[in-house]
Structure 1
Amino acid sequence: MFNFVKHRKIWYIISLLVILPGLYSLITRGLNLGIDFTGGNMIELKLGPDITIQQVRETVNELGYGSSRIQQSGNGTYLIRTKELQEDESAKFISNLQAKLHDVKLLRNERVGPVIGRELTMNAIMALLIASVLMLIYITFRFEFKQGVAAIIALLHDVLVVIGVFSLFQIEIDSAFVAAVLTIIGYSINDTIIIFDRIRENMKTRKKGEILEDLVNISLWQTLARSINTVLTVIFVLLALFFLGGTTIKTFVLAMLIGVSSGAYSSIFNASPVWVDLKLMEKANR
């Protein structure tokens, strides 16, 4: 039986090799923030029944606004989110759209300031902190404090992996990215709790002299099939959404794909081994 816990330093090194380039990119280049964070214009149009969303995207690209997000919000109604436009730029953009697409009716043209983006960022950070504290309290109550610490470390691992990948490849993020990160936290902790629960059950029947690393390794093997099957079923759905769900949800789905994969890894290779190290440190300090 392969010993996951015995080789835990290898898993730590792999995690660092994934996280550190992302952190470096985050510090030096930051994230590619969409208009939800930086501000911009929200333009809602009513177009003719024969015009498709693909035609709208191609036209917007031709006009030099390829980074704009386009969403069909109803029958013939489209929401275009562009960078922040001055009044004359906005009028010219709409005029050019009317010239190329012809049957265009302006329903709304609003400028969104970056203040909302800053509020969204602060709310996201606050939500992450609150969720982490509540999870730590819950896991401490259900299991023990050191398992709570190990679980939070695994969660931060997943968050840093997702943010790091998006920074490295400069993938534009929006408010859906924040929702994805919070969803990943909820998914990842679930798998970790299952493994901790099995460890707790095995601790009750622990044989005298049995090494802690061996007991945790047995617990990991007992839950391994469930962990793999669960993550694969989720990934299959996410892949279908990524390729067939349209561009408006690609950021959310991509973040989920990275986070779910990272969450499966951290639950097996990080959370329990970190707990083992914390327990060994406690024993050594007695």
Structure 2
Amino acid sequence: MRSKRTFDFVKSSRRFLIISAIITLLGIVAVSIFGLNYGIDFSSGTSVDVSTKKPIEVEKLKIFLDDQKLGDYSLTTAENRDSIRFKAALNEQQEKDFKTAFTEQIDPGASFEINIVDVDIAREQQNSALIGMLVACLGIVIYVSIRFEWRFAISAVISLIYSAFFVITMFSILRLEVNLPFILAVLTIIGYAINDTVVIFDRIRENLRFAKLKTSADLDALVNRSIWQTLARSINTVITVLIAAVCLFALGGESIKLFSLAMIFGLVSGAYSSIFIASQIWLYLKKKQPLKKVAVKPQGTL
């Protein structure tokens, strides 16, 4: 019976790998030129979250902040909550003066949540975040190597690096703030991406147990069949989490919007890399290994 599945993932893999390579190169150029827009978690500065009794006009608030002469700042406003990010780390006297001036000129009933990060703490958090991501990748390599083989491990890590770097590239191009929730989102993305990848790899390994591979075309067919067998599960999983991430981005507060957006980017890139990068790199590495010859009995023998 002829299969209704007409799309050949393996046959199209070269095209998608070239596209992925181009995206990666563009990402490297973008990050090199624009860099990352670090939040105060990774650069020194002061975060001031103000809760007010009533909404404050944005123009009025900007005039007030300019009058305080506390340096460059960014402002995010909500209904009764305003988030101000100063690039400078305020000292104790500046913090006290700011609170006094705000309650006198803007809202006497305002409440404040102030977080100050100096240069040393910012650098320490940068290093800790980098170490955390490296440890996660190392743990994945060890786990996949033990459960499967080294070809699967290399393919999985390349796929994960692509997924994470895609999110970093988007945040660099769009000049979105990179902070601790962003790192949490990237680590969460790595978890979802490796889950999708392992599902495909597990099916490939299972099909290998019963396959009689005589040519590389047989291996291509096996990988293609394995992807099709797991495709519905992968798509359903991604769509389910994607719906939740989109709802959080659209309806959630300002504090989780960037986390949700990073999740949206990462879920899409993770699903893509599991299908079009991880499995195809494994196939390329596997083809470097000579196929085991299948013993054929001579005609006329029992």
Instruction: Pick the TM interval, shorter chain.
Output: 0.7 to 0.9
- Listed one character per residue, the Cα deviations across residues 182-237 of structure 1 (whole Å, up to 9, x for unaligned) are 11111100000000011111111113426111100000001111111111111111
Question: How far apart are the structure 2 equivalents of 1:281 and 1:61?
Answer: 63
Name the structure 2 match of 1:120: 125
Alignment RMSD: 2.7
Matches of 1:24 and 1:239, distance apart in 2: 29
The corresponding residue for 1:187 is: 192
Aligned equivalents of 2:60, 2:285: Cα separation in 1: 58
The equivalent position to 1:84 in structure 2, one of 68, 85, 88, is 88
Higher RCO, 1 or 2 (CA under 8 Å, sep at least 6)?
1
Q: 2:171 aligns with which of 143, 150, 166?
A: 166
Equivalent pair of 1:68/1:83 in contact (CA under 8 Å): no
Provide the residue aligned with 2:300 in structure 1: none
- Unaligned runs of 5+ residues in structure 2 are 1-5, 67-71, 292-302
The one-letter amino acid of 1:275's match is: W
Q: Which stretch shifts more, 95-104 or 229-238?
A: 95-104
User: Displacement of 1:91 after TM fit?
Assistant: 5.5
Is 1:221 matched up with 2:228? yes
**Structure (1 or 2) with the greater helix fraction:** 1
> Matched residue of 2:196: which SS?
helix
Alignment of 1:7-156 (within 5 A): 7-43=12-48, 47=52, 50-52=53-55, 55=56, 60-62=61-63, 63-64=65-66, 67-68=74-75, 80-87=84-91, 90=95, 93-104=98-109, 111-156=116-161
Match among 195, 199, 207 for residue 212 of structure 2: 207
With normalisation by structure 2, the TM-score equals 0.82
In the superposition, relative to structure 1, how do residues 58 and 264 fare at CA in structure 2: closer, same or farther (>3 Å)?
Answer: farther
Judged with a 3 Å threshold, the aligned counterparts in structure 2 of structure 1 residues 5 and 84 are, in CA distance, closer, same or farther, namely same
**Runs of 5+ unmatched residues, structure 1:** none
Matched, 1:235 2:242: yes
> Between the two proteins, what is the percent identity of the paired residues?
39
From 266, 269, 279, the equivalent of 2:273 is 266
Aligned residues: 277
- Aligned equivalents of 2:229, 2:115: Cα separation in 1: 55
Alignment counterpart, residue 180 of structure 2, candidates 166, 175, 179 = 175
Q: Distance in 2 between matches of 1:242 and 1:6?
A: 37
